[in-house]
Amino acid sequence: MTTSPAAIPSTYYAHPLDDDKLKEECGVFGVIGLKDASNFVALGLHALQHRGQEAGGIVCHDPDEGFNSARRFGYVRDNFTKESVMKTLPGPIAIGHVRYSTAGSKGAVIRDVQPFFGEFSMGGAAIAHNGNITNAVALRKELVEHGSIFQSSSDSECIIHLMARSLQRNIPERMEDALRRVEGAFSVVAMTRTKLMGVRDPHGVRPLVLGRLGEGWVLSSESCALDIIGAELIREIEPGEMVVISADGSVDSSFPFRPQPSKFCIFEHVYFSRPDSIYGGRSVYETRRQIGVELARENPVDADLVCPVPDSGTPAAIGFSQESGIPYAMGIIRNQYMGRTFIEPTESIRNMGVRLKLNVNRALIKGKRVILVDDSVVRGTTTRKIKNMFLDAGAAEVHFRIASPPTAWPCFYGVDTPEREKLLAATMTEDEMCDHLKVDSLKFISLDGLYRAVGQAEGRNKECPQYCDACFSGEYPVTPSDKIEQGFQMAAAE
């Protein structure tokens, strides 16, 4: 079942702008009550591939065959479409996981690939976790000192060991017990022989939705993955909620944790989630378009064209164009096949960098004043390259409008961010970034503007922000205790 780490060169999975984007870490999906549930899970994971491209795994249970699992590096479509793999995953209940990696080993270690499985006295259980446990180092130390033997370097494995140490009589109660010890962000999908479980942390930082397909039930990180299998979106799992779905189709809901203010990740709206997913009854696409509208109101500029930086800047660019009246145009054309063409590029090809993946539409932009709409600026390296491509192609002016506030703080809740010093906005003001990147203008949406765009008409509640926005504000809803132990300094309270 193992795959050689050498078989997955880092360039293989590269998104065109991967070197300068925050990366979502995981997607989770689970099904109960459908024949060959693993096939539905594979499709769901395929729809969630944008949340993690490094590896994927499925665990399933069949009354005759017991538990089975498969974990693979690479895309879901390259692994979980093969008959040789899927026929080993029978049964009416299955969960799956796609992964990039935050906690745990960076890169290729098959034992870090979820779902994780544990055999308890009352039967087996598997879990798949999206998020990041902010006290995992302390928990792991404690567990190891008490005799736990870890198989992986993933923070998520702590949950299995905490379950093993719990004295509760059944697995859902053990999971509750375990998750009470866990701090940070978690959306967990788990299974026993007969039950599918879904849990969101008390702040609800990462998403999790419930869907229905025929007699079966589905749990998914995003609603777009329900669509691919024809399931109906029933509702979002609430922050702090645990649902236990039985083989007979009954759904038990409980709220086992101390209630906390909701802090859904606002960056899911900006970038991580697919635009065809739905949160709070509104599509992510519509929210992103509205971000563009707010951006145009806050930061108008005289120009000839509004162009998206593909693909995530597209809805905001459309909104910007609609609000400003400046024509929308595809100034950048993306090569859809790049990732699979040059699996191991030579040095000379690698030096072409972003040009391999994106090309400026020269005939369109020559002599034009262009507004480029992008979702974020992280290190700024891509912004600079794109600006150079536009100037080389003859653009008269290049203005950047960014659909998120300056990213000045790292995320500790399941998103891969560079260290704080490497974030451009951590060390420079907006004007300094503009000078540094040598663009004609650079403006970000304000935090209040972003909150208005996601449906908070009054903007951000400064006393108790309605979302997690720590990567912009430095206000962490859950203290990142491991990081503080390692020397991370949080923003001083005003």
Q: Any idea which residues carry the catalytic annotation?
A: 26
Identify which range of 63-71, 95-103, 241-249, 462-470 contacts ligand SF4 by CB under 6 A: 462-470
Tokens 């699979």 sit on residue? 340
Tokens 């050498």 sit on residue? 6
Verify binding: residue 471, ligand SF4, rule CB under 6 A: yes
Verify binding: residue 356, ligand SF4, rule CB under 6 A: no
Q: Give 155 or 469: the residue with its C-beta nearer to ligand SF4.
A: 469
Q: By three-state DSSP, how is residue 214 classified?
A: coil
Helix (H) / strand (E) containing 94:
strand 93-99
What DSSP string describes 371-426? EEEES--SSSHHHHHHHHHHHHTT-SEEEEEESS----S---SSEE---GGGSHHH
Residue type at 406 in one-letter notation: P
Map the footprint of ligand SF4 across residues 239-268, applying CB under 6 A.
Answer: 265-267
Tokens 């086992």 sit on residue? 256
Q: Give 70 or 471: the residue with its C-beta nearer to ligand SF4.
A: 471
How far apart are CB 124 and ligand SF4 at their closest, in Å?
31
CA–chain centroid gap for 183, Å, is 19
Q: By three-state DSSP, how is residue 171 classified?
A: helix
Q: Where are the beta strands (DSSP E) in 192-314?
A: 195-200, 209-213, 216-220, 232-236, 242-246, 251-254, 264-265, 278-279, 282-283, 305-308
Helix (H) / strand (E) containing 322:
helix 314-324
Q: Give 267 or 320: the residue with its C-beta nearer to ligand SF4.
A: 267
How far apart are CB 186 and ligand SF4 at their closest, in Å?
12
Identify which range of 231-239, 318-326, 349-357, 465-473 contacts ligand SF4 by CB under 6 A: 465-473
Could you tell me how many residues of this chain bind ligand SF4 (CB under 6 A)? 11
Picking from 46, 13, 74, the residue whose alpha carbon sits closest to that of residue 338 is 13
CA–chain centroid gap for 298, Å, is 28
Q: Give 133 or 196: the residue with its C-beta nearer to ligand SF4.
A: 133
Parallel, antiparallel, or unpaired for β 441-444 and 397-402? Answer: parallel
What DSSP string describes 430-486? HHHHHHHHT-SEEEE--HHHHHHHTT-TT---SSS-SEE-HHHH---SS--HHHHHT
Out of 320, 468, 478, 482, the residue judged to bind ligand SF4 by CB under 6 A: 468
Enter the tokens of residue 451: 């909150």
How far apart are CB 382 and ligand SF4 at their closest, in Å?
18
How far apart are CB 414 and ligand SF4 at their closest, in Å?
7
Map the footprint of ligand SF4 across residues 41-80, applying CB under 6 A.
Answer: none
Identify which range of 25-33, 212-220, 233-241, 468-476 contacts ligand SF4 by CB under 6 A: 468-476
Map the footprint of ligand SF4 across residues 403-422, applying CB under 6 A.
Answer: 411, 413, 415
Map the footprint of ligand SF4 across residues 162-221, applying CB under 6 A.
Answer: 205
How far apart are CB 271 and ligand SF4 at their closest, in Å?
9
Q: Give 93 or 266: the residue with its C-beta nearer to ligand SF4.
A: 266
How far apart are CB 43 and ligand SF4 at their closest, in Å?
27
- Provide the mask over 269-308, with x wherever binding to ligand SF4 is found by CB under 6 A and - wherever it is not: ----------------------------------------
> Would you tell me which residues interact with ligand SF4 (CB under 6 A)?
205, 265-267, 411, 413, 415, 468-471
